[in-house]
C-alpha cells in the first residue's frame, strides 16, 4: 500500500516574510523620523538601527544602502500626502473630471493643512528646500506617476492633449498652492493669512474654483 506524503507547510516561509516586512517597515518609520529631524547628510545608519532595535546589516539587507533607505523614505513620505492607489480610487468613483479633480485636491489639502505630526511632511519639505542626489527617485517613483493621473484629468477638463504645454502648465499652477501650503510656516497660516488655516473643505473648494477658472480661460484661448 502506498502512502501520500504530506506536503510541506508554507507557514514558516510566510512567517519569515511577515517578520521581514515588519522589520523593514520599522526601519522605514524610524528612518523617516531621523531624516525629518536631521536631514539626509547628518542622519546615520547607526542611529537609525539603534532606535529601530535592529543590527547594522539590516539597512543594507532591506534597502541596499543608506541612500536606498533614504529614497524609500522619500517615496513613503510623498505617499503620506496621497498614494497613487488612492488617487485611482478617487478618480474611479466619479466620471466627471471636475469632480475627480475636486476629490483629489480635497484629499491633498486635508493632509497638507492637517496636523504635521507625521514625519512625511517634514521629509518632503527638507528635500524640496535642499534637494539631494536622491531627489530624482522622489520625482520618478512618487511624483511622476501621480502627475500622469492628474494631467489626464486636467486634459479632459481643458479639452487639449495631455502632451500640450498648456496642460503641463495648468497642472503646475493647480498644484503649486498645495506645495506652498506645505512649505509655509504655521505662523503664516495662523497670524498673517488665517484664512489658510480654516476649514480644509472650504479651502479646497476655493482652490478648485480658482484653478478651474484658469483652465476655462486656457481652454478658450488655445481652442480659439
- Give the pLDDT confidence of 50-85 residue by residue, as tens digits: 999 999 999 999 999 999 999 999 999 999 889 999
C-alpha 54: how far from chain center: 27
User: Mean pLDDT throughout 89-101?
Assistant: 96
Entry pTM: 0.83
From residue 112, alpha-carbon distances to 50, 59, 156, 178, 179 in Å are: 31, 30, 26, 7, 8
Residue 105 has which C-alpha cell? Answer: 485636491
Domains and CATH numbers, the chain: 13-78 (1.10.10.60), 79-223 (1.10.357)
Residue 48 has which C-alpha cell? Answer: 537609525
Residue 73 and residue 32 in contact, taking contact as beta carbons nearer than 8 Å: yes
User: 183 or 153: which carries more pLDDT confidence?
Assistant: 153
Residue 21 has a pLDDT of 85
Question: Helices then strands (H, E): number in the chain?
Answer: 12, 0
Please state which of the ranges 89-103, 109-123, 199-213 shows the lowest mean pLDDT: 109-123
| Rounded CA separation 3/36 (Å) | 60
For the cut 60, the answer to whether the pLDDT of residue 5 exceeds it is no
| Rounded CA separation 182/124 (Å) | 9
Q: How confident is the model at residue 10 (pLDDT cuts 50, 70, 90)?
A: low
Amino acid at each position: 500500500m502506498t502512502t501520500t506524503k504530506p506536503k510541506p507547510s508554507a507557514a514558516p516561509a510566510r512567517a519569515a516574510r511577515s517578520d521581514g516586512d515588519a522589520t523593514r517597515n520599522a526601519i522605514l518609520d524610524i528612518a523617516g523620523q531621523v531624516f525629518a529631524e536631521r536631514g539626509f547628510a547628518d542622519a546615520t545608519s547607526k542611529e537609525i538601527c539603534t532606535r529601530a532595535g535592529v543590527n547594522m546589516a539590516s539597512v543594507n539587507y532591506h534597502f541596499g544602502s543608506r541612500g536606498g533607505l533614504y529614497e524609500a523614505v522619500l517615496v513613503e513620505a510623498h505617499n503620506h500626502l496621497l498614494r497613487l492607489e488612492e488617487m485611482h480610487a478617487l478618480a474611479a468613483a466619479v466620471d466627471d473630471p471636475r469632480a475627480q479633480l475636486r476629490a483629489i485636491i480635497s484629499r491633498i489639502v486635508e493632509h497638507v493643512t492637517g496636523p504635521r505630526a507625521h514625519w512625511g511632511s517634514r521629509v518632503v519639505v527638507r528635500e524640496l528646500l535642499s534637494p539631494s542626489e536622491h531627489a530624482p527617485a522622489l520625482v520618478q517613483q512618487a511624483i511622476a506617476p501621480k502627475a500622469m493621473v492628474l494631467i489626464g484629468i486636467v486634459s479632459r477638463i481643458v479639452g487639449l492633449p495631455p502632451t500640450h504645454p498648456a496642460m503641463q502648465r495648468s497642472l503646475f499652477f493647480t498644484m503649486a498652492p498645495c506645495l506652498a501650503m506645505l512649505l509655509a510656516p504655521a505662523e503664516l497660516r495662523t497670524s498673517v493669512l488665517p484664512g489658510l488655516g480654516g476649514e480644509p473643505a472650504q479651502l479646497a473648494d476655493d482652490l478648485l474654483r480658482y484653478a478651474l477658472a484658469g483652465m476655462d480661460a486656457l481652454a478658450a484661448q488655445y481652442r480659439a
